Structure 1
Amino acid sequence: MENILDQFFKAALGIGGLGTVGAAVFFGLYKDWLSLDIFSKLSADQTFIIMLVFLGFVFLSLIVLVIAYILKGIKINSATATDNSVAVVNVSK
């Protein structure tokens, strides 16, 4: 059984595309962020810079996850040796 968040993202992607999913993730991450006490002590420019830094971290995390997903799908010719270590199979063409 799918959870409600998976159903929401499938519906959002089907209706509004990737922009809608991005907006939903942004709202989910930052909905209570600006109500923290530290932001009353910062100027608007400082708050904007901090928000850009966190957006950069989120984007960088997305890139890392996509690269990890792609690398996970790459098949490497390998076999298990008798002592449970990995033995690489060398196939020449």
Structure 2
Amino acid sequence: MSDKQEAIRLTAWVHGTVQGVGFRWWTRSKALALGLVGSAGNLPDGRVEVVAEGRRDHCERLLAALRSGESPGRVDKVIERWSAPKGSIVGFVER
């Protein structure tokens, strides 16, 4: 299996105007189209936390989508962290 196909966990914190604008729904639809599992949830400080597990290349495509400027609302910046997948997530949910 190539590095791009290995399983990985992406955690991304999205800053900007991303709550109450359909951002979590949009993120969920992108993630499901890529075959990823995880969640998109609002944080008390106005950010959205996105957790996605799956193939590295698919997680990279989701991260690129988050930064693309094509999402609802306004994304100012995205902070990312890569880690080993936990493997216990089923589906992709909005929190």
Same fold (TM over 0.5): no
Q: TM-score, normalised by structure 2?
A: 0.26
In terms of fraction of residues, the more helix-rich structure is: 1
Name which one, 1 or 2, has greater alpha-carbon Rg: 1
In terms of fraction of residues, the more strand-rich structure is: 2
Structure with higher RCO (Cα < 8 A, 6+ apart) = 2
